[in-house]
Structure 1
Amino acid sequence: MLKKVLIIIAFVTLLFTVFILKNSRGNIHNVQISDGNPSKIYSNAEIESAFQTIKDYFHSEFGGCTLTELYYPGDTYLDEYKDWDSAEVIVILSSFDVNSFAGDGFNPNSTYSDWSWVLIRNESGDWEHFDHGY
C-alpha cells in the first residue's frame, strides 16, 4: 500500500512539474535596453518596435529564462542578409539568464550573451520573428 502511495505521489509531482515548466513564461520585466550602434537604416522607433517584438516572443517561448539586455549592434550585421531582396531585415542582440529548469537545450543556470534575433518586416510594416540563436 505504501508503495502505491509513493508511486502516486511521484506521478502527481511529475505532472505538476511538467505543467509548471510548460506554462512558465520568459521574464522580460527588467530588460536593460543598451545604447547600441547608431543606424543609418532604421529610426529609433523602428528599433524600439523590433525590441518589443523580441520581448513578446521571449515572454511566450522562453520559459525559465530572464531577458536581461537588448541592443542594436549596428547596420553591419545586416550584410549577411543583403541578398534577401524581398525582405527587410533587422538583427538585434541580447543577453539572457537561464534558471535551473532550463528547457529547449539551454544549459541550466547559465547566461547567454550576444544571442542574435533576426526579424523581418511583414506586409503590415510590423516586425516578425524569423530566427534566433548564435
Structure 2
Amino acid sequence: MKKKRIIAICAVCVILGVAAVLALTGNRGNISNVNRVVGYSALYDENSINEAFDVIEKKFAKDFEGCTLTELRYDEDVENKFAEEIEKYHKENNQELIVVLSTFDTDEKGGDGGFNPNDTYTNWQWHLVKTADKKSWDIINWGY
C-alpha cells in the first residue's frame, strides 16, 4: 500500500511540474518560423545583421505573448529609409545604430492585450545599438 501511495505522489508531482513548465513557457511569443530577409548593406555584414535578428527574436519570444513573428528584414531599402536617422544617432551618441523592420501576427486576444486582436503588424521597427564593447546588439526602442 505504501508503494502505491509513493507512486501516486510521484505521479502527481511530475504532472504538476509539467503543468508549471507549460504555463510558464506556453504563452510566449512564437518565433518558430521567422523569415529572415538579409539583403545588401553598405554598413553591416550578414553576420552582424543576423546577430541583431537573434536579439530581436529573443526579446519577442520573451515579451510578445500571443504574437507570432513572421519576418525580420534588413536590406538596402531599409538602410536607405533610415540612413539619416542612423547617421544622426552615430554623430550624437558615437554608437552604431541599426533599424530592423518586422512583421508579426496577433492572436484573438491581441497578444497580451496591447495589440489589436487577429491583426498583422507590418514595418514594426526595432532600433538596436552596438554595446560598449561592440560585441553585441542592444535593443533601445521598438514600435512604429
Please give the TM-score of this superposition, normalised by the length of structure 2.
Answer: 0.72
8 Å Cα contact 2:101/2:124 also seen in 1: yes
Give the direction of change, closer, same or farther, for the CA distance of 1:133–1:104 in structure 2 (3 Å limit).
farther
8 Å Cα contact 1:89/1:119 also seen in 2: yes
Over the matched positions of the two proteins, sequence identity in percent amounts to 39
Give the direction of change, closer, same or farther, for the CA distance of 1:104–1:21 in structure 2 (3 Å limit).
farther
- Select the residue among 67, 88, 92 that pairs with 1:83: 88
Segments ≥4 residues shifted beyond 4 Å:
20-23
- Select the residue among 106, 121, 125 that pairs with 1:112: 121
Aligned Cα root-mean-square deviation (Å): 2.0
Which runs of structure 2 are paired with 1:61-72 in the superposition (5 Å)?
61-72=63-74
Q: Which runs of 5+ in 1 are unaligned?
A: 1-19
Describe the SS at the equivalent of 1:66: strand
- Rounded to whole Å, the distance in 2 between the matches of 1:21 and 1:79 is 41
Q: Which runs of 5+ in 2 are unaligned?
A: 1-22
Deviation at 1:35, TM superposition (A): 4.3
Which runs of structure 2 are paired with 1:1-134 in the superposition (5 Å)?
24-36=27-39, 38-74=40-76, 75-76=79-80, 77-84=82-89, 85=91, 86-102=94-110, 103-125=112-134, 126-134=136-144
- Rounded to whole Å, the distance in 1 between the matches of 2:83 and 2:60 is 22
- Whichever structure has more helix as a proportion of its residues is 2
Please give the TM-score of this superposition, normalised by the length of structure 1.
Answer: 0.77
Describe the SS at the equivalent of 2:88: coil
Deviation at 1:64, TM superposition (A): 0.5
